[in-house]
Amino acid sequence: MISFEKSKAVVQAQYLIQTVADNMMRPVSRYFDEEEGEIPWDYIEFMHGALRQMGSASLTPDHEKQKEAEKAKKPRQAYVVMAHQIEMLSWGDVGFYLCTPRGGLGSAAVESAGTPEQKDKFLSILNGEKPIFTSMAITEADAGSDNSAIRATAVLDEETNEWILNGEKIFVTAGRLSMENTEGYTVIWASLDLEAGRSGIRSFVVPAGTPGFKIAKKEEKLGIRVSDTVTFVLEDCRVPYDHILGNPKIEKSTEGFKGAMQTFNVTRPLVAATGLGVARAALEEVKKMLEEQGVVLRDGLPRNKMTSIERDVIDMERMVRSSWLLTLKAIWMSDNKISNAKESAMSKLHAGDVSSKVTQKAVELLGPMGYSREFLLEKWMRDAKITDIYEGTGQINRLVAARAILGYRGKDLR
Amino acid sequence: MYSFEPNEEQKMLIDVAKRYAETDLRPAAHEAEEEGIFDPKLIEKGWELGILQASIPDTYGGFGDRSLLTSVLALEELAVGDMAGALSILAPSLFVTPILIAGTEEQKTNWIPPVIEAEWKAYTAAMIEYAYDYDPNELKTTATLDGDSYLLKGEKRFVPFADQAEAIIVYANLDGKTQGFIVPKGLEGLEVGEREATLGTNGLQTFSLVLDNVKVPKANRLGGEAGHDFAPILAAAQTSLAAVAVGVARASFEYARDYSKERFVLGSFIAQKQSIAFMIAEMAAEVEAIRLLTWEAAYMLDKGEETAAHSAYLALMGAIDMAMMVTDRGVQILGGHGYIREHPVELWFRNGRGIASLTGLVMG
Ligand SMILES: Cc1cc2nc3c(=O)[nH]c(=O)nc-3n(C[C@H](O)[C@H](O)[C@H](O)COP(=O)(O)OP(=O)(O)OC[C@H]3O[C@@H](n4cnc5c(N)ncnc54)[C@H](O)[C@@H]3O)c2cc1C
């Protein structure tokens, strides 16, 4: 039965996180944007404590709870709740959201590709006394959009039963938080056999402090400056045998790679949610600031009676709302185990456009005030732009969506 | 809790509407547009699907409760078949639905059953007026109290089936508020004008209508003496028009998608070229986004949520741009062939522009 009713869990989550956003993010948003490289420990400690207390309401779906719900034949909603949390955190400050402990792309990879033992080992440590971060390193200097082109290698040392990793990874989100500032881990994508192409690619858990691992560079960025983005260098970096996620055998099929790609079906709508949180923030701020300057935004007028500002604001509003519904539907499909490669790519490409357009329009609409660093509008425009770049650029998501729509494979459309 | 899955009853109705749209509406669309008339037998067949009847309670001759969401789902499917056809079949809803929403008990029992229990007959409504800034909330046609009657004065345009209408709901400005009046045929001063010629949807027969101080009994004011709130009627009209936009856009998207996989140019199918494939991906995303916005508006209206009117407005604002963006690309993807009337994309392109101007021409 079609329903647009928010569940209690969603309402609660939104309420809680809005409080966090109002008190712990917005007041220091500007500071951390200007002081690139400083770590928002207050926020991190607070979130870690809060998420620990809430237990199940953490930012990674609780699989025990999910299973219980399934048994009780209750509808699953963990991802829908999570999308709301992420949207609201990003409404507060998307850079801060990326500095939220426990979750992160690394644990998501363990979650989707790990064995039960690996999940036990690498997910339970997130729950400890001290905050822990995880990250995921796929991108290399010569392998961005085309992540099958990665050159990092993993070789098994049969004597010690360890994997030896070598290579260089760039643009790792929370690389420093996971590997330098906390006792976390990263998940490295590397090839078991460079000749084997996609089917040779596996991912490996590398804990902080592993010899042979180092951080080589910290990027300075357009936006989301509070979130660190770094380069990893791995030189004969050794991890135990059971740190490989998934099947260690190289088979002809590319199932392993496809499995990894399926993680994107969940993460893409969640990234869409981050951009839409920023866009909603910008939209609300624009309305507020315009009203403060005496602009009355009338509701319900036909197009041809509106002022140009009224028209822009309505366009922004319907873009944000429709894109959000597209995102919700994609993530709702994940909860309900309906295959959603098309929908998740569509939500990401749509939200990538919408978050960029809306935040850019917001700056334009406020004139010199929009351009000023006295207000957050210009920051949100910089922050929002990343939505259309990581987790597959807008172009890559167009390819993925188009293939699904047209029934094409990679070789048919590239 | 959020869900995006129609219930069983809705699925059945979607299915029925879809089949009719495919086997009857679509094949007839081209000729109807060229000839300016839809085969009445086809309209009757569409009427008998019971899409409107299913949302009228049995006290008034129907067999279900009103759900705009359900109507919107069916309307979209019909519009995928053909917009003019969909609007023709549902013209009586323009008359019945406002009465159901805002009428007095007496108006409902008097006026609804004769429409619902019979074969398709021309019942309709007159809302649209000629003005660049046409605004249903500020109509130029006026209603003035005159003893026991209201005098209606003004000119309406694009009134479906006005020439053969048994009765029309005429919307007019009464002291600054839009009110509906039930106007039976044959009243003095009611003049049906020229058959309208339009950019698209010519299969739907519309007419201009002059009201020269038409005297309507007080009892025919929608909602009786106290009148009614126009907002829910307008919201239903906006949401329904948005659903039609989604249907038209979907038709264009699906046709262009299939064509692009068969058209071979410079070494590959055009669908294999990014500039075409990317357009297709964007079209699909935009159609789906506005579709969900429309569902949400319908859901909110059914629930009587306070923000529902705004949702409906938002859905239509989105639908206006979406319909034009998608139908324009539909033509573009077919290239020169898209410009030839043998292919339907040019008709959808013309119809798509209508969404900006036709509030009041459809109501589910
Ligand atoms: C702030 C930030 C954080 C990041 N975090 C992470 C992280 O945590 N982990 C990680 O592994 N990576 C991360 N990345 C990397 C990110 O995923 C890549 O930058 C992105 O996938 C694009 O790769 P690229 O930069 O090499 O661009 P390129 O692949 O060089 O693309 C350049 C341009 O070409 C277009 N293009 C590429 N291929 C095609 C094609 N087939 N068809 C049409 N157009 C195409 C792209 O859309 C883009 O516009 C991060 C990046 C940034 C900026």
Per-window interface: B 321-340 vs A, CB < 8 A: 321
Of B2, B132, B274, the CB nearest to A3: B2
Of A77, A322, A333, the CB nearest to B292: A322
Give the pLDDT score at A58: 45
Of A321, A398, A408, the CB nearest to B293: A321
Distance A138 CA to ligand 1 centre (A): 10
Q: What is the ipTM of this complex?
A: 0.96
Query: What is the number of the ligand 1 atom nearest to the C-alpha of A399?
Result: 42
What distance in Å separates the CA atoms of residue B317 and residue B230, rounded to the nearest whole number? 19
Give the pLDDT score at A259: 65
CATH number of B8-116: 1.10.540.10
What distance in Å separates the CA atoms of residue B97 and residue B52, rounded to the nearest whole number? 9
- Residue A218's identity, in one-letter code, is K
Residues 6+ apart with CB under 8 A from A64: none
Q: Is the minimum CB–CB distance between A318 and chain B shorter than 8 Å? A: yes
Could you report the per-residue pLDDT of A264-284, keeping only the tens digit for each? 899 999 999 999 999 999 999
Pocket of ligand 1 (CB under 6 A): A 105, 135-139, 144-145, 171-173, 221, 229, 386, 389-390, 393, 395-396, 399, 414; B 274
CATH number of B123-226: 2.40.110.10
What's chain A's length in residues?
A: 414
Q: Domains plus CATH for chain A?
A: 8-127 (1.10.540.10), 134-255 (2.40.110.10), 258-406 (1.20.140.10)
- Residue B360's identity, in one-letter code, is G
Using the structure block, give the residue that is written with the tokens 């219930």: B7
Tally helices (H) and strands (E) across chain B. Answer: 12, 9
What is the band of A105 on the pLDDT scale with cuts at 50, 70, 90? Answer: confident
Which pairing describes strands B123-126 and B167-174: parallel, antiparallel, or unpaired?
Answer: parallel
- Residue A381's identity, in one-letter code, is M
Give the pLDDT score at A56: 45
What is the band of A68 on the pLDDT scale with cuts at 50, 70, 90? Answer: low
Give the pLDDT score at A197: 87
For domain B231-357, the CATH superfamily is: Butyryl-CoA Dehydrogenase, subunit A, domain 3 (1.20.140.10)
What distance in Å separates the CA atoms of residue B95 and residue A278, rounded to the nearest whole number? 44
How close, in Å, is residue A190 to chain B by CA atoms? 30
Per-window interface: B 112-171 vs A, CB < 8 A: 132-137
Instruction: Write the Ramachandran bin of B248: left for phi over 0, alpha for psi from -120 to 50, otherwise beta.
Output: alpha
Query: Taking a C-beta distance cutoff of 8 angstroms, is the pair B117, B59 a contact?
Result: no
Write out the H or E segment, with its range, that includes residue B179.
Answer: strand B177-184
Locate the chain A residue with the closest alpha carbon to B320.
A303
Strand partners, B174: B177
Q: Which residue has its alpha carbon closest to ligand 1 atom 6?
A: A172
Whether residue A391 lies in the annotated active site: yes
How close, in Å, is residue A4 to chain B by CA atoms? 5
Q: Which residues of A touch B271 (CB under 8 A)?
A: 402, 406, 408, 413
Locate the chain B residue with the closest alpha carbon to A74.
B1
Give the pLDDT score at A111: 84
What Cα–Cα distance (Å) separates residue A218 from each residue in A225, A231, B53?
11, 7, 66
| Catalytic pick among A87, A310, A378, A391 | A391
Assign 3-class secondary structure to chain A: CCECCCCHHHHHHHHHHHHHHHHHHHHHHHHHHHCCCCCCHHHHHHHHHHHHHHHHHCCCCCHHHHHHHHHCCCCCCHHHHHHHHHHHHHHHHHHHHCCCCCCCHHHHHHHHHCCHHHHHHHHHHHHCCCCCCEEEECCECCECCCHHHCCCEEEEECCCCEEEEEEEEEEEECHHHHHHHCCCEEEEEEECCHHHHHHHEEEEEEECCCCCEEEEEECCCCCCCCCCEEEEEEEEEEEEHHHEECCCCCCCCCHHHHHHHHHHHHHHHHHHHHHHHHHHHHHHHHHHHHHHCCCCCCCCCCHHHCCHHHHHHHHHHHHHHHHHHHHHHHHHHHHCCCCCHHHHHHHHHHHHHHHHHHHHHHHHHCCHHHHCCCCCHHHHHHHHHHHHCCCCCHHHHHHHHHHHHHCCCCCCCC
Query: What is the number of the ligand 1 atom nearest to the C-alpha of A139?
Result: 11
Give the pLDDT score at A104: 80
Q: Which residues of A touch B282 (CB under 8 A)?
A: 349, 398
Q: Is the minimum CB–CB distance between B59 and chain A shorter than 8 Å? A: no
- Residue A275's identity, in one-letter code, is G
Give the pLDDT score at B112: 98
Locate the chain A residue with the closest alpha carbon to B132.
A304
Q: Which residue has its alpha carbon closest to ligand 1 atom 43?
A: A395
Handedness of CA B66, B70, B76, B79 (dihedral sign): negative
Segments of chain B assigned to CATH 2.40.110.10: 123-226
Mutational test site, ligand 1, from A105, A171, A172, A227, max ligand atoms within 8 Å of CB: A171
Mean per-residue pLDDT over chain A, rounded: 93
Per-window interface: A 57-116 vs B, CB < 8 A: 75, 77, 80
Q: Which residue has its alpha carbon closest to ligand 1 atom 38?
A: A145
Give the pLDDT score at A264: 86
Q: Which residues of A touch B246 (CB under 8 A)?
A: none
Q: Which residue has its alpha carbon closest to ligand 1 atom 7?
A: A172
What is the band of A63 on the pLDDT scale with cuts at 50, 70, 90? Answer: low
* Percent of residues, chain A, with pLDDT higher than 90: 82
Q: Is the minimum CB–CB distance between B267 and chain A shorter than 8 Å? A: no
- Residue B355's identity, in one-letter code, is I
Q: Which residue has its alpha carbon closest to ligand 1 atom 29?
A: A145
Q: Which residues of B touch A80 (CB under 8 A)?
A: 1-2
What distance in Å separates the CA atoms of residue B207 and residue B363, rounded to the nearest whole number? 18
- The verdict on a CB contact (< 8 Å) between A326 and B288 is yes
Residues 6+ apart with CB under 8 A from B195: B36, B163, B205, B206, B207
Distance A391 CA to ligand 1 centre (A): 8
How close, in Å, is residue B352 to chain A by CA atoms? 16
How close, in Å, is residue A270 to chain B by CA atoms? 16
- The verdict on a CB contact (< 8 Å) between A2 and B5 is yes
How close, in Å, is residue A389 to chain B by CA atoms? 16
Q: Is the minimum CB–CB distance between B87 and chain A shorter than 8 Å? A: no
- Residue B59's identity, in one-letter code, is T
Locate the chain A residue with the closest alpha carbon to B138.
A301
Could you report the per-residue pLDDT of A175-233, keeping only the tens digit for each? 999 999 999 999 999 999 999 988 899 999 999 999 999 999 999 999 999 999 999 99
Q: Is the minimum CB–CB distance between B63 and chain A shorter than 8 Å? A: no
Q: Is A68 exposed, middle or buried (0-12, 13-18, 19+ CB in 10 A)?
A: exposed
Strand partners, A288: none
Q: Which residues of A touch B270 (CB under 8 A)?
A: none
Query: What is the number of the ligand 1 atom nearest to the C-alpha of A145?
Result: 29
What is the band of A249 on the pLDDT scale with cuts at 50, 70, 90? Answer: confident
How many other C-beta atoms lie within 10 A of the C-beta of residue B272?
Answer: 20
Confidence check: pLDDT of A61 > 60:
no
- The verdict on a CB contact (< 8 Å) between B274 and A5 is no
Across residues A14-35, what is the average pLDDT?
Answer: 97
Across residues A66-94, what is the average pLDDT?
Answer: 85
Q: Encoding tokens for residue A244?
A: 């490989």
Give chain A's radius of gyration (CA, Å).
Answer: 22
Segments of chain B assigned to CATH 1.10.540.10: 8-116
Write out residues in chain B with pLDDT < 70, as ranges: none
Give the pLDDT score at A57: 39
- The verdict on a CB contact (< 8 Å) between A3 and B299 is yes
